[in-house]
Amino acid sequence: MSFFNFGSKQTKDSTERIGVSLEKHVENLDRCFVNLEKKTKVNLTKHQARVAAIIDGSGSMQLRYEYNEVQETLNRLFPVAYRFDDNQVLDVYVFNGNCKKYPGMTLKNYQNYVKKVIGECPMGGTNYAPFVEQTIRDYDDGSNLPAFCIVITDGENNDKSMADEAFRKSANYRNFYSIFGIGDEDFRYLKKLDDLSGRNVDNTSFIKVSEISKMSDDELYSALMEQYIPWLQAMGIE
């Protein structure tokens, strides 16, 4: 079953508008949902959430922007937003010492999104507190929908104490942060984040991978949902 429905049936023209590779990612996400339901008894096909991709914009990420790794990652994350978000929009943030929100990724602009919308890698240091604080503000808007925030970073953060306080604060909201640490960094801070005290619920997960591009869609989507589902249950969110 395709989630990209433009009418009573899929046509050749609509498939071309979607893009074959993007359509395949959506099909793989659908298959992941079926497998997860068998394991967890949780059906995500009707689940609604705001979805954000929060991308590291530090200097060490420059080549990943230039060589389309960031674009390819966003292409694989977009189906999660298309599936969960009622507006089919993937919110996009880039962080370094600060955090900036960009126009959302949609079916109309996903192709070459990074080059057309973000441009070059912004460059800078690596602080986590700014994106946590900004997503708290942005999603504390009266909606009952959870915010599923997917973070991609390749470096250890410089603001551990401030990040601790920001993540503690975020646990009081309906925000979940699924964090991928990519590359060779040890990520000592992120490894300890699940044990961060002072939270009423664990609203973070950490996945360390050498390269997201080497993960299959099943591995990627399963990793994203692995701790998101228990968090939904802990929060009483369907």
Closest CA to 152 of 50, 71, 36, 48: 71
Distinct helix (H) and strand (E) counts, the chain:
10, 6
H-assigned helices in the chain: 12-18, 20-40, 62-66, 69-84, 113, 129-139, 160-170, 188-193, 217-226, 228-235
Q: Let me know if residue 107 belongs to a domain.
A: yes
Angle made by CA atoms 144, 148, 154, in degrees to the nearest 5:
155
* Prediction pTM value: 0.91
Whether 34 is covered by a domain: the verdict is: no
- CA dist 205 and 225 (Å) reads 10
- State how beta strands 50-56 and 99-105 pair: unpaired
Structure tokens belonging to residue 200: 């009423």
Asked whether residue 35 is assigned to any structural domain, the reply reads no
Distance CA 17, CA 157 (A): 39
Q: Based on the structure, what is the number of domains in the chain?
A: 1
pLDDT tens, 69-90? 999 999 999 999 999 999 999 9
Where in the sequence is the domain holding 133, given as residue range(s)?
Answer: 47-235
What six digits make up the tokens of 114? 């990074």
CATH of the domain at 89: 3.40.50.410
pLDDT at 93 over 90: yes
State the residue for tokens 């080549």: 63
Stretch (H or E) spanning 44:
none
Q: Among 15-19, 29-33, 79-83, which stretch is predicted with the lowest mean pLDDT? A: 15-19
Over the stretch 115-135, which tens digit does the pLDDT of each residue have?
999 999 999 999 999 999 999
Residue 121 lies in a domain: yes
* Percentage of the chain modeled with pLDDT above 90: 88
DSSP state of 52: E
